[in-house]
Amino acid sequence: MSSEVVRLEKQGDVALITIDSPPVNSLSQPVTSGIFDRIAEANADSSVRAIVLTGAHENFIAGADISELQNLADGKAKLDTKNVGRLTGKLDELEANKKPVVMAIDGFALGGGLEVAMAGHWRVGTTRCRCGLPELTLGIIPGAGGTQRLPRIVGVQKATEMMLTSTEARGKEALDLGIIQEMVEPDKLLIAAVAAARKLADGQAKPVRASQLADKIGTADDARAIMQGARMIGGDKMRNLIHPEMCMDAIVCGVAEGYAAGVKREAENFAKCLASPQAAGMIHIFFATRAAPKVPGVTDQKLEPKKIERVAVLGGGTMGSGIATALLQAGVEVALKEVNDEFLQAGRGRIDGNLQSRVKKGKLAPDKYEQMMARLRPQTDYAGFDKVDMVIEAVIENIELKQGVFVDLEKAVRPDCILASNTSTIDLEVIGARTKAQDRILGTHFFSPAHVMPLVEVVRSKHTSPQALNSAIALVKKLKKTPVTVGNCVGFLVNRIFFPYGQTALLLVDHGIDPYKLDKAVYDFGMPMGPFRMSDLAGVDVGKFAGGILAKAYSDHTYISTLVDHLFEAKRFGEKTKIGYYKYDGKKAEPDPALAGFVQKARADAGNPKPLALSDAEIVERVLFGVVNEACRCLDEGIAIRPSDIDVACVMGMGFPAYRGGIMKWADTLGAKYVHDKLSAWHKAHGPVYEPCAYLKRKAEKGESLVK
């Protein structure tokens, strides 16, 4: 098998070893064995003076075979601790090889791929090569010498940054950092690599052995200071996680005690990380994200997505301007329509500000900014709409207004133009009720800020054609966002399933739980902020309006508190009014003692129920189990295709901690029966908001998994 995926051919006195394991040359067991088997063959051939290792399919090695890690993280395979570090040992042998080994790197050299490359004696990369150690995105750390060789090549500061943030060095940057010694165009790669191999064999160039480099490593105290700085920068992003600390510990150990001690510590820490629930959760999210764009009966059919090159965006507010920004960044021509010049200029200004912000941060070249703004066409009428491929409506959440807009659009666009709404709460069939275009009407629900947030809910009604849906999914992927296809209902997926999140939080406050204690408990669990801080961010007034729509739609399992009404009447709308559940100095939120008066009024309205005494863990369960329950309803109704889609949507749309695997994966670790029984008890005490749905009850009775 290894001879099939890794082949050897000779170019005179140079052995050319090529990894050929499509699509991206993952470092599977056959590939790993094949590399070292072919190197052994080259060493045994007296006519071979040097070796070049490269990859087919415009890639070197894209990283480990993640499916092998998934089996370990899910418990389907047992981790053999004796084998942890085995690849490191083989790479140490490669680095000590008497015959020089040149790494010819095109495309990806990520994770284990870069670890293999760094064990070579010389690295030639192409202008499009991408080098990095992104293992921390999977809840693990580099496990084949990466925590030791990369700091010795690029310095501890840069190596720590690259590993903790999973960033890549591409082309010229990889050259400047010393990750590669030469950079060439892709068509010159093998010529340059073979030439370098002969120079090394002739003694015209000195082999670079990364484990022996010392000039960039610094002292142990320097390394510890860098790690402390990294902790301060990482801040709350590192809370509840072990793998960043495990990574930094291995780096410091290598600096303080030497390479051999460092790789030993790396292997120990790698094993600890892989056995952690954080790794299981993050590996689950990795595969769930890859599965999310796949829609049975749509993306698996021979449907050619419509080529979308021109898009009209209706509405230049926060959402519309964010959507337009995302489209411009993806190379799409955008017509921005507003009702008058004043609103139009404001919308254009928001788009300009979004892009200028990236220029100032060095993330967008000035000439690229100019090109993007040149693709924007602001207008106050429907002129040229017969040329657009798709329209995305982002006007205010008013049913009559949206219906009128879609009637106008049907007249203004071509019969094949896709009509999308960014609505977050209104039924698509209601929006398109006055048109004859329902087969090409769908939802593209972006999350704010739309040019930043990675999730888009692609909403289909019972009338939406597979072709229109497939085309919308393709556009979202073009925007470098993750599409999650959902069914048509009030609130769609994320807003609907997180509706109980706010409701049960209000119920607990009505039952004596301090709102600031509740927010802190949820934050400490891993959410970016608690439900009350989130309400202030979105706007208490916005929450009241949207909550009213959702409460009406799902009135059979709703809890109504008057706390929101009292804050609304006092014009405490949150951040934008500098006062809501919290008070604000700039964007810094501070508890407000005056909130107690509003809480007291709401408790009185609720009949002053007996106060609850709950631990932080109990608060988290009472707030989040309602989300799990509503997610199960969405699965039962076909609103969500897969449990894993819900996990992706919660992580990307609501900031649910990825290391817990998403809401369904997290609930599954507790068990369907546990969740069901808790909800049943709370249902008896507090009413229908906690009533377990039929889907969850079936899973509990059968002892089935919530994610399979």
| Residues labelled as active-site residues | 115, 135
Please say whether the beta carbons of 428 and 457 come within 8 A: no
> Across-strand partners of 9?
16
Q: Hunting for tokens 């399919």 — which residue is that?
A: 57
Instruction: Pick the closest to residue 309 from 196, 389, 218, 406 (CA basis).
Output: 389
Please say whether the beta carbons of 451 and 394 come within 8 A: no
Please say whether the beta carbons of 482 and 454 come within 8 A: yes
**Both structure tokens of 459:** 């909403």
> Distance between terminal CA atoms of the chain?
32
The angle at the Cα of 372, spanning 368 to 378, to the nearest 5 degrees, equals 155
* Angle of the 515-525 helix axis to the 531-538 helix axis, nearest 10: 100
Q: Where are the alpha helices (DSSP H) in 179-258?
A: 189-202, 220-234, 243-257
**Max CA separation in the chain (angstroms):** 91
Please say whether the beta carbons of 494 and 458 come within 8 A: no
CA distance 355 to 328: 9
Burial state string for 313-323 with b = 16 or more CB within 10 A and e = fewer than 16? bbbbeebbbbb
**Element of type H or E holding 310:** strand 310-314
Please say whether the beta carbons of 413 and 387 come within 8 A: no
Q: Which residues contact 57 (CB under 8 A, 6 or more apart)?
A: 20, 22, 23, 24, 25, 107
Please say whether the beta carbons of 495 and 424 come within 8 A: yes
Instruction: Pick the closest to residue 37 from 5, 83, 74 (CA basis).
Output: 5
Please say whether the beta carbons of 42 and 28 come within 8 A: no
Backbone dihedral angles phi then psi of residue 653, each to the nearest 5 degrees: -95, -30
Please say whether the beta carbons of 508 and 614 come within 8 A: yes
**Element of type H or E holding 521:** helix 515-525
**Both structure tokens of 170:** 């591409």
Q: Where are the alpha helices (DSSP H) in 80-124?
A: 86-95, 112-118
Q: Hunting for tokens 């309006």 — which residue is that?
A: 545
CA distance 676 to 670: 10
For 362, 526, 533, 622, the CA distances from 617, given in Å and listed in that order, are 42, 12, 19, 9
Instruction: Pick the closest to residue 493 from 388, 635, 611, 305 (CA basis).
Output: 635
Q: Which residues contact 491 (CB under 8 A, 6 or more apart)?
A: 424, 425, 499, 549, 550, 553
Cα torsion through 44, 45, 48, 50, rounded to 10: -20
Q: Where are the alpha helices (DSSP H) in 120-188?
A: 146-154, 156-165, 172-177
**Both structure tokens of 708:** 């399979």
For 65, 70, 353, 396, 503, the CA distances from 356, given in Å and listed in that order, are 39, 41, 5, 26, 39
CA distance 206 to 99: 12
